[in-house]
Structures are given as structure tokens and as C-alpha cells.
Structure 1
Amino acid sequence: MKGILLVNLGSPKSPTAKDVKPYLDEFLMDKRVIDMPYILRAFLVKGIILNTRPKKSAEAYQKIWWPEGSPLIVISQRQHKKVQEKVDIPVALAMRYGEPSIKTGIQELKNKGVKDILMIPLYPQFAMATTETIDVLAAEIIKKHFPDINLTSFPAFYKRKEYTEALAASIKGHLEGFDYDHILFSYHGVPERHIRKSDVTKSHCKMDGQCCSTASKAHEFCYRHQCLETTRQVTELLGIPQEKHSSSFQSRLGPDKWLQPPTDATVNGLAEKGIKKLAVVTPAFVADCLETLEEIGMEAHHEFLQRGGEEFRTIPCLNDDEMWIDAMVTWINEWKSK
């Protein structure tokens, strides 16, 4: 029997420092998130970050926490429920960090007689710290605990028409009645070295303004290219002129050089240049979370208004939008019929 495993990032159990700390420990100690040697990573995470950040992060989570729980978990559960209602094979939900774990999700499917699993990492663009870490951990779990299970991972879907059309339709709907001056596509940031490490050609990715638009095998695993390509495809579908949109990268950590330009500086700069009505969409996520609800919806919103902006609209992630659910159902049915 075939089955589906949907995998998202994860969340603390509660918006308290007590629960945020072990979540951050698991997340930041992942060598594909902070790709330092173990001793340096442990010193940074356990010796510095975990002594200061849990309280601050807990306060941020408290601002966006829903009565039902973590927004990311609640939305992922809704996605799971809707997908399951539209397909006739078992569907399980898992998180890379926290619960329910990937191992738990695979066990749930196995208990239902599933031998062949399609795992869908819920990230449109490939990145070391998202898709790759899910793929690697899942493969390790399969090898150690479920050697009789066949696991296939669904590749990055940033250019699949079902996704881009769903994203474009969602943006169009949420922009209705909003005569925006500019729309910013804000993607989660990663260190530039992650891009170079993911370059299968070992020579193409130079982040010089040209490599992402020059055809290459490297694009299959290039997060920056895939983000910019998402923007290009969606703005073409919506007919948004070049001068009315841009892309940026948010959520930096540490002193390393991260993808440019940063979202916070971009938002501030747009306001200072006279942009009065700004819309921001976050296409690296398919479920609203701390990065979209607090970092964009609250912090960036506040900073934009403080610098002279007048209206700021945060466009929600796809969440449980029906076109997005139908996109996943289409991919599942295509795989099931093979």
C-alpha cells in the first residue's frame, strides 16, 4: 500500500522559555542549519544562544500563539485533514523538529499497512536547512527503523504550475481593494555559503547578479535561484511590472554573510524612498508561522509605518487554501498512479 508523509518545520510545545529552549536546541544544533564543526556549533548554541534567546523567542511566540496552539502546527493539521479527505490513501503529518516526529509519522503509516511512502517536505524551494535536512533524517530513520519501507521524497515544487498558480491566485485575492505601490517577496534567509555548498557543479554559484539567471544544473539545488524564479513566475502570472516588485531575505543569525538584500533594510528603505502602500508576501513558507506573523506582520509592519509608510498589508501564506490543497492532491494522485 502507498501512503503520504507531509513534513513541515515544527514548533515549540508552548510559548514559554521552558519549551522554546529544547526546540531551539534541536533546531540550531542541526548541522545543516548551523553548518559549523560540532564543537563550535555546541559552543555557540548551548553556550550562548540557549542562555539568551529562549526568553526572547518565547515572548515573540506569545504574540502570535493561537488558542488552538502554534499557528504552524494548527495550519499543518488543517492541510493534513483536507488532503486526507481528497485522497484514498493514508496521509500522515510530521515535523522536522519537535512533535509529531518523522519517525512517528512513518510508524503511523506503517501501522496502516503502508510500504511505499511519498514524503512531501512542505518547502517550495530547496535549501540545506529545510528540504535537505528532512531528506537526510528521513533516510537515516528508514535505514535504522523501517528497512522494509520504500521512501520517495518529493522535490522542490517552486516551478510547478499547480503551486505557482495557487500562489498567484492567493496573492491576487488578498490584494483585492488594495492599491499598493510595491509588493515585496520576502524569503527566509540562509548564509551565502549554503548556496555554494549546494552547488553540484562546484563552480556556478557566485551570487554575482548573473548566475541565478544563467542556465545551470546548479539551479536544481540553488535556493537563491529558486526564490528569484518563484518571484519571476508569480509576477508574470499577475502582470506585476518590474518596478513594482522586489525580493529580499529575512531572519539572519550571526555575523556570517547572508543572502542579500535583507528584508528589514528593504522595508525601511522602501518607506524612506516614498513608498506609501506596501504588500509583503512570504513564499518560502506554505503555513504562517513566527517568521511571517511576528517578524513580517508585526515588526516589519511597525517599522514601515514608523518611517513614513501609510499602509502595510501582510499577505497570508497558502495555509489551507483550496487551490494549494488541490495542488498537493494532484501531485499525490500522479505519484499514486505510477
Structure 2
Amino acid sequence: MENQSKTGVLLVNLGTPDEATPKAVKRFLSQFLHDKRVVDMTRWLWCPLLHGVILPIRAPKVAKLYQGVWMNEGSPLMVFSRRQASKLKQSLNVPVELGMTYGNPSLLTGVQSLVEQGVEKVIVLPLYPQYSATTTAAVVDGLGKAFKKMTVVPAFDVIGDYHDHPLYIKALADSVRDAWHERGESQYLLCSYHGIPKRYADNGDVYPQHCEKTTELLAKELELGPDRIGMTYQSRFGREEWLQPYTDKTLEKLPNQDVKTLDIMAPAFSVDCLETLEELSEECCDIYKDAGGESFNYIPCLNDSEAHIKLMASLVSARLLISE
């Protein structure tokens, strides 16, 4: 593809610690949990709690969990993200860089790298299929902070979501079909999405509607009725109510509803990471089997699969055509 308009792509994900150590995890979590998009509590209440209680306790525990999923090349999220960027660059023949909302490489680093390659317009692709203020909007906030540090600010175009894109739904469905071909169909397919506080949705965040639409379209593509597919929310934190139904509580109930074999996937995650490889694949497996479940199969994220890169290329190409 000709890049006559000097357009480049910034692939964005949440981020990850640089190392699987308490110090690196504490640094990453501090940046992440300081974002008001993520935790909107009053600062004078939240900051002492965060630094005095939460980080000292959680950082060593989370670091140990990261050590259990760390790959030879680094954090799974970073490894797969790098592969995605490399393959998308080959597919589109335009500059592609990574930028993480928290941690490294930063959004500023990613944009500066594109500008140094002569890019005048940046197409920003946050790898969050379903829009949420806690993720996609946080990317826009981060870009604003990055631009404040730049003398020449490039034009930019943010792809807000792709929760109902046909290629996204097909890629998800094909990943399920591949798992079925390899292991056979389970009785039930559970789509587990990352949760957000219910209050955020009550205040207008469209995230739950996007998750519901994705699940609905996936069910239609796979021709599964409501007795064969469902959706839940995982990774809640703190004491307030989050979006329900909760993944862990659902897994405790399913065996009593005669669901003894289960496939589970995480459509909101574009790459495998701690929340999928540890929480979903291992912790949730234990919960389900302890409740009487017999077979638990985790279906990996789309990662750097051919279908996923094809989807990304389609999303970006549509914006490239508009900008020409």
C-alpha cells in the first residue's frame, strides 16, 4: 500500500511491567491505578490507601503471578504486541509502532518514533474491541499528555472500537471452531470480559452494551442458543459492585446446572496476559473443577494470528483511504 500521505499506525494496549519483580510491578501498578479513568476516588483518600496499603501488599503477590506466565522474550502482553506490530507493518507497508497507556514503550515514545520516520498523521488503534472510558478514553487522555511534550504535533485519528466488526466476530468464531476441532465441543461456551465498576456503566459507559453485542454476534456466527453460550465479567477489584454476572461466581454454579464440560474465552483481550493466562486459564479452572466441573478448556486470545492481523489491517486501511 502506498503511503503517500505519510501516515503511520500506533498500536496501543494497556501495558505491562518491565520485569516480573515487585519493584517493577509496583512502578507499573502505581501509574495504572493513579489514572482517574481507572479509579475515580477522591485523591486525598485514594493515594494514601494506594501507596500505604495496596501497592506494598499487592506488588509482591502480582510479581509472583507474573513470574508464572513470563515468556523467554518477556511479558506475554509485550511479546504478542511486538509480534502484532511487526506483522501489521508487513501487511500494510506503513510505519507501525507500539505505545502503552502505562509503562513502556510509552505513548510519547511511540508517537515520537513515528514522527522521526516522517509520519505526519497517526492512526491510533487501541486494542480494546469494546469501548470503555477506563481503556479507550484513557488512551486519548494519554495522547493529550504526550502531545503537550511535543513541539510538532501530528494529526491523529483514533479507532474507537470494533466490537461488532465482521472480521473480529469471524476471528473469534474461527478460534472457537479451531478449539472444537482439536478437542471437541464442550457443553457450554463462556465469554469472560474484563469488568468495570457498575457505577461507571450507570454513568453512561457503553462497555456492557458492546460486550453484549459481541456475544450476541458470536452466538449467531457459531449458531449457539442461549443454553450453549453465555457472558460474564472478571477481574473485579475492591468492595463496590462491578458489572455482573461475575465469572468466578458463575463457574461455581454451572456444574450444579449440569454443565460439566466448558470452553472459556476472553473476547475483550486482544492478547494473552496475566488476566487470561493466570486468572482465567488457571484460577478459574480450579474454581470450576472444585465445584464439580469435569472439563475446562481455555481458548487463547487472538494474539498475532493471521485472522487478527487481517482485522487490524482492515480497520487501519479504512482510515488510510479516508485520509488520502
Tell me the TM-score range normalised by the shorter chain. over 0.9
Aligned counterpart, 1:41 = 46
**Alignment counterpart, residue 63 of structure 1, candidates 44, 65, 68:** 68
Partner residue, 1:202 = none
Q: Distance in 2 between matches of 1:175 and 1:196?
A: 37
Contact 1:102 1:138 in 2 (8 A): yes
Q: Distance in 2 between matches of 1:153 and 1:196?
A: 25
- Equivalent pairs counted in the alignment come to 316
- d(CA) in 2 for partners of 1:155 and 1:278? 32
Determine the C-alpha separation between the residues in 1 that align with 2:57 and 2:148: 37
2:303 alignment partner, SS class: coil
What does residue 96 of structure 2 align with? 91
Residue of structure 2 in register with 1:191 after alignment:
197
The CA RMSD over aligned residues, in Å, is 1.2
Larger mean Cα displacement after TM superposition, 168-177 or 182-191: 168-177
- Pairwise CA distance, 1:241: 1.2
Query: 1-side partners of 2:128 and 2:277: how far apart?
Result: 17
| Cα shift at 1:147 | 4.2
Matches within 5 A, 1:246-257: 246-257=230-241
Query: Between the two proteins, what is the percent identity of the paired residues?
Result: 38
Cα deviation for residue 272 of structure 1 reads 2.9
Work out which of the residue numbers 202, 211, 214 in structure 2 matches 1:227.
211
Residue 269 of structure 1 aligns with an amino acid whose one-letter code is K
How big is each residue's C-alpha offset from its partner over 1:150-203, in whole Å with a ceiling of 9 and x where there is no partner?
111111100111211111111211222323111111000100111133x2xxxx
Q: What corresponds to 2:3 in structure 1?
A: none
Aligned counterpart for 1:107 among listed residues 97, 100, 112: 112
The amino acid that maps onto 1:184 is L
1:146-295 pair list within 5 angstroms: 146-176=151-181, 177-197=183-203, 199=204, 221-295=205-279
Runs of 4+ in 1 over 4 A off after TM superposition: none
Alignment-derived partner of residue 294 in structure 2:
310
| TM-score normalised over the length of structure 1 | 0.91
1:75 alignment partner in structure 2: 80
Q: AA paired with 1:165?
A: K
For 2:38, the aligned partner's letter is V
Unaligned runs of 5+ in 2: 1-5
CA–CA distance in structure 2, aligned partners of residues 40 and 158 of structure 1: 35
1:321 to 279, 289, 305: 305
Q: Secondary structure at the match of 1:225?
A: helix
Question: Secondary structure at 1:337's aligned position in 2?
Answer: helix
